[in-house]
Structure 1
Amino acid sequence: MPQPLSADDLTDVIHTGHFELTSGLHSAVYNQTAVLHQDPARCTALCTQLLRELGREFDVVVAPALGAIVFGFECARLAGRPFLYSERAGGSQRLRRGQHLAPGQRVLVVENVLTTAGTVEEVLALVRGADARPVGVCALVVRRTVPYPWENEVPLVAVVRRDMPGHEPARCPQCAAGVGIDSPGSRRAS
């Protein structure tokens, strides 16, 4: 059995500097998971590991667009299950383009990076709103070690889970020190 992957295997994903995250928070750490799309075998290995660690049955995979589509699709392909993706529309995550969940379906939610987990919480609400049942969340990187409130009910597995603090811009130590900021994945990036 291959050894589990770790942060050491993701050195090209985990960057240090001064970054604006998608959440709007500032951090000294940024996770550029899109580089993994360039290596399908590596993406498959990561998704295989996540599914093995999750160890739960599910009927369908849902991933939020855009960053998690590749990983969600690969988890669905490996498990032989349907794949759906949600999109932000009207301020929240929604299934569109003829996609839908059926009542009672067991749903695996796949995300690339969790910081505040706001998007995952929206997807969980979307699943529950369709009378489907979330049975797990898989993520490549989770930027905190403290559990999210929903983890008591819906288990979360990740390749890397460690504290990577984020700061409100007004309280950012790097901003206070005059360090320039990069916004490589922020919704605010141009």
Structure 2
Amino acid sequence: MNKIDVVDILKKSDALLEGHFLLSSGKHSNRYIQCAKVLRFPQYAKDVLSTVVEQIKDLEIDLVVGPAMGGVIVSYELGRQLNKETVFTERKDGVMELRRGFEVKPGARIIIAEDVVTTGKSTIETKKALEALGGEVIGVACIANRTNDDIGMPIYSAIKLDIQVHDAHECPLCKEGNIALVKPGSREFKELGM
């Protein structure tokens, strides 16, 4: 297999964005990775996630679970390449849960699939929901790992990105006032009025 250049694929698909972004944490950043732009091309999804499959193929995995929305396509593609069952969790009344008749067998070894791991919020919520059903979460597989914190499980990623993040009141882009703030993600912000 040829070496996959993940950064090149992210750039070709316009997935690495430059600007002034409001993150789901409420913090601001000058760059954002929009994995949906990569995942719209099946060959790019296959290529980028094949680098993650190489890292996890020898783990004993029974089930791949992707939190909706960002993890759905990622979990499908990982499951396809690993030949494993894939399902997804979703929020109901603000709580991440397994729905639609999906099941977790007691003791099932699970890998959570995400597009990007930044704070680990949805990953940790998904882990909690799966463990409550008797599953054993053995890690998270993602396209981009942006976290600098330990989220309590191994992270297997196609790329590790170090993107500067600022509290809103300390954001240099806000202070400059030249670039409008954009909220590119899917999570709702009730407390921020978005």
Do both share a fold (TM > 0.5)? Answer: yes
In structure 2, the CA distance between the partners of 1:149 and 1:34, relative to structure 1 (3 Å rule), is closer
Q: Does 1:81 align with 2:84?
A: yes
Q: Residues 108 and 136 of structure 1 are in contact (CA less than 8 Å); yes or no, is this contact kept in structure 2?
A: yes
Match of 1:122 among 125, 133, 138: 125
Q: What is the 5 A alignment of 1:1-190?
A: 1-11=1-11, 12-55=14-57, 56-144=59-147, 146-150=148-152, 154-178=153-177, 179-188=179-188
Q: CA RMSD in A?
A: 1.8
Regions of 4+ moved over 3 Å: none
Give the Cα separation in 2 of the matches to 1:121 and 1:73: 20
Equivalent position SS for 1:42: helix
Give the Cα separation in 1 of the matches to 2:187 and 2:175: 23
In structure 2, the CA distance between the partners of 1:5 and 1:57, relative to structure 1 (3 Å rule), is farther
Q: Number of paired residues?
A: 186
Q: Residues 17 and 32 of structure 2 are in contact (CA less than 8 Å); yes or no, is this contact kept in structure 1?
A: yes
The percentage of counterpart residues that share the same residue type is: 29
The TM-score with structure 2 as length reference comes to 0.88
Q: Which amino acid aligns with 1:65?
A: A
Give the Cα separation in 2 of the matches to 1:101 and 1:167: 38
CA deviation digits over 1:97-125, x for unaligned, max 9?
Answer: 11121110000100001111111111111
Give the Cα separation in 1 of the matches to 2:124 and 2:85: 21
Q: Residues 20 and 186 of structure 1 are in contact (CA less than 8 Å); yes or no, is this contact kept in structure 2?
A: no
Structure 1: runs of 5 or more not aligned: none
Give the Cα separation in 2 of the matches to 1:87 and 1:5: 31
CA deviation digits over 1:55-77, x for unaligned, max 9?
Answer: 31200110010112111111111
Structure 2: runs of 5 or more not aligned: none
